[in-house]
């Protein structure tokens, strides 16, 4: 495949019922998955996670998100995440024999993985039905990831609350955060919200 990069391993709590889940993510270097970077800490706190970051020969460099090195071996990990920067139009994620498209659907999958343990993430499906439906509606609107849509949609959504879907961090914030960083969409309100997202993500 012509892949180069730096392998990295991360630690977490063992959960044998989730052993050996392989997640291979391909994404363009111009669209690094900042949401994955935010969620990785929560995954590490619950599971043994092995990660690696590479670049395919179709691109000249890694994206700005490089998953942090740690010490869990790939053979003993509950979850193995491989991030490959490649010349693809849309993020694709391979889990076993299934393929997921889009950063929003990667987040849905990882949140379900988190919520299968004793400490749910409270980011998505373990919320009440109304909030989950609201999150889904926002994710659908963010499927148009153009800079114009992001710069007009996101500031208006959280103008009346601390986060995108209310007063607490949800999956919608993780995706919106990533898209804002990808497109360099920022103002004083967005910067304040992004700081709240970062602080809250550390507590998931």
Quick one: pLDDT at residue 15? 42
Q: pTM of the entire structure?
A: 0.86
* Backbone angle region of 122, left / alpha / beta, with phi > 0 → left and psi within -120 to 50 → alpha: left
The residue ranges of the chain whose pLDDT is under 50 are 1-19
Quick one: pLDDT at residue 3? 45
DSSP string, 101-149: ESHHHHHHHHHHHHHTSSS--SSSTTS-HHHHHHHHHHHHHTTS--HHH
Quick one: pLDDT at residue 20? 52
Quick one: pLDDT at residue 156? 78
pLDDT digits (tens, 9 = 90+) for 62-96: 888 999 777 788 788 889 999 999 999 999 999 98
CATH architecture of 4-110: Up-down Bundle (1.20)
Alpha-carbon distance of 65 to 95, in angstroms, equals 20
CATH 1.20.1050.130 domain residues, the chain: 4-110
Residue 26, helix vs strand vs coil: strand
């Amino acid at each position: 495949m012509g892949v180069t990069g730096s392998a990295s391993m991360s630690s977490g709590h063992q959960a044998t019922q989730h052993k050996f889940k392989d997640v291979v993510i391909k994404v363009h270097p111009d669209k690094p998955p900042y949401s994955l970077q935010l969620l990785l800490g929560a995954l590490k706190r619950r599971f043994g996670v092995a990660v690696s970051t590479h670049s395919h020969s179709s691109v000249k460099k890694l994206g700005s998100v490089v998953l942090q090195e740690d010490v869990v071996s790939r053979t003993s990990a509950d979850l193995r995440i491989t991030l490959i920067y490649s010349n693809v139009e849309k993020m694709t994620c391979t889990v076993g024999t299934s393929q997921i498209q889009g950063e929003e659907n990667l987040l849905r999958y990882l949140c379900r993985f988190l919520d299968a343990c004793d400490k749910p993430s409270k980011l998505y499906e373990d919320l009440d039905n109304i909030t989950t439906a609201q999150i889904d509606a926002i994710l659908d609107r963010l499927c148009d990831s153009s800079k114009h849509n992001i710069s007009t949609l996101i500031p208006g959504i959280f103008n009346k609350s601390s986060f995108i879907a209310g007063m607490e961090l949800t999956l919608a914030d993780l995706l919106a955060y990533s898209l804002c960083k990808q497109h360099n969409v920022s103002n004083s309100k967005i910067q304040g919200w992004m700081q709240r997202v970062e602080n809250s993500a550390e507590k998931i």
